[in-house]
Amino acid sequence: MRMIAALIVLISSISGVFAITQPIATQKGKRISIYDPISAKLVEYLPVVKYFDGRNMEPEFCDQVIYRTYKGGFYKRIFEGPINASWYGLNGIDDDPIKVYNSLLKAWNYALSSKTDLYIPSGVYNTGNRNFPFRVSEVSSVKGLLDCQNITIYGDGEKTILKTISDNGADVLQLNKLKNLKIRNLSITAEVKSLNRSGTNGISITNGFDNIMIDQITVKNLRGVSRNGNLDGGKALTVQISTGSDFYCGKIVATGIKSINCLYGFTCDGCISDVIKKNIDISVDISVENSYLGLSVTNSAPYENGDINNMENHPKIKLVANTLNCQKDLMISRGIGVKVVLNINTTKNRSGLIKSFDGTPWYNKDLRVWGAYFNYIKDGEITIKGNKNDCDYKVAIGAIGAVKDSFNLMNRTENCSFNIDITGKSRISDFQVIEYQGESIHNSVLDFSKRTFSDNDLQRPVQKVKAGKLNKLNFY
């Protein structure tokens, strides 16, 4: 062994401990071990003359973590597998938010450029008022979607906690304008200091997306805020399709998602005029516990003409979910091509269902409790089973507003199949038909278990369903 050392050693006569005050380097063959002040350990490097992309090495390529300079030479860290966030000085215990953000930004940038996964060890990582850097900034010059090279960002499950503590709301993972990215085995939470401005979401997918995969993520304690009388933030997982945006919207797969004590579990929001032009393919497997609204797919009214019967790319949204003690379990409004398999469970009474984890009502302007609400949905396949006790109603189906609008889209529920089996007692009625100015349910199959209905006043809603053209109503 040939030893090359640069040593300045301070010997403590009291403790007898050696303290390193400048780098030590040892060399064996081409390998060199250089003292790393971040980890206070010797780290192995190899000498290099080329950057990973083939360019000649330059000092600006060196982050002193993966690539570093030493005695006039360039060296690359020896490692296999993912980049470790701890290499950038993060220990997950009381790290300064600015340091957390900047360190993860460096790790993210190298992961992207080198197509290397990023591992975040156990700990709590708080970026304060800023979203985690895994995104495209609003001021970026990037055109289209940023290709993330199919890298994976992952942690140690619920032991790796990503967090923001913000004055006015800061989504933790705001995956803005991204494609080809995987995120798994993490936990997310947040705090918002101001309760009347903007809320914070756990994972928000915004301004276009494709091939995003999210797996085994737990999101906890997102209370949301009331801003101008409306609810904001508090969504465990949300997909937001901007009105009039020309960004591509493609595939999202989310599996093993847990939402606990969040205002909303999963939401997908857009505009009908945009949705029917996109290539939307979203699949979500989620469990939602203690929420104001478990699952929501809502689209605003169209701003231009469209024909849902002649769409080149029919939107596909598939939700497989379990809800427990939600004030409302499912809402679909102007949803097209939505498939739902939902199991509802209720163990609390009404007063418990309307309250957040802080003991106050989720939304004091809306204390209604119900299982599922379907307003103007097309080509849906809905299966719901379970229990919804002490509610106003279990299921409402139909439409609100005029039957025809100015854009050729009928404001009615049509071409759908419903299979509903919900036990429990309702205060108003078990099944409501939403109607205003005409036929509200058209060409749909409605299968209800007999035990769904505990009341004796079914004649009126049954007549309304049968009055719709081509509807089939069955009891089993």
Q: What pLDDT does residue 306 have?
A: 73
User: Which three-class secondary structure state does DSSP give residue 57?
Assistant: coil
- Report the candidate in 310, 452, 444 with the shortest Cα–Cα distance to residue 377: 444
The gap from C-alpha 121 to its chain's centroid, in whole angstroms, comes to 20
Task: Tell me the percentage of the chain whose pLDDT exceeds 90.
Answer: 69
**The tokens 């450029």 sit on which residue?**
113
251-299 per-position pLDDT tens digit: 999 999 999 999 999 999 999 888 888 899 999 999 999 999 999 999 9
Res. 2 pLDDT band, cuts 50 70 90? very low
Predicted pLDDT of residue 11: 30
pLDDT in tens, 203-230: 999 999 999 999 999 999 999 988 777 8
Cβ neighbours, 10 Å, residue 138: 10
Is residue 178 pLDDT above 80, yes or no?
yes
CA distances from 177 to 35, 160, 211, 326 (A): 39, 25, 11, 31
Q: Could you tell me which residues come within 8 angstroms of residue 143 by beta carbon, excluding any fewer than 6 positions away?
A: none
Q: Using one digit for the tens of pLDDT, what is the confidence trace for 346-376?
A: 999 999 999 999 999 999 999 999 999 999 9
Range from 145-149, 332-336, 378-382, 409-413 carrying the lowest mean pLDDT = 409-413
Domain ranges of the chain: 1-79, 116-122+143-475
Task: Compute CA distances 440 → 169, 375, 402, 435, 436, whole Å.
Answer: 39, 9, 10, 5, 7
The Cα–Cα gap between 114 and 48 comes to: 16
Assess whether pLDDT exceeds 60 at residue 3. Answer: no
Residue 438: pLDDT band by 50, 70, 90 thresholds? Answer: confident
CA end-to-end span of the chain: 82
List the structure tokens of 455.
């009341």
**By percentage, how much of the chain surpasses pLDDT 70?**
90
Rounded Cα distance, 353 and 416, in Å:
29
8 A C-beta contact, residue 410 and residue 307: no
Residues 18-70: tens digit of each pLDDT = 333 444 555 656 889 988 888 888 999 999 999 999 999 999 999 899 999 98
Confidence (pLDDT) at 40 = 83
34 within 8 A of 71, measured Cβ to Cβ? no
Phi-psi bin for 303: left (phi > 0), alpha (psi -120 to 50), beta? alpha
The residues facing 320 across adjacent strands are 285, 341
Give the CA angle between residues 152, 154, 157 to the nearest 5°.
150
Per DSSP, 276 falls in state T
Mean pLDDT of 387-413: 82
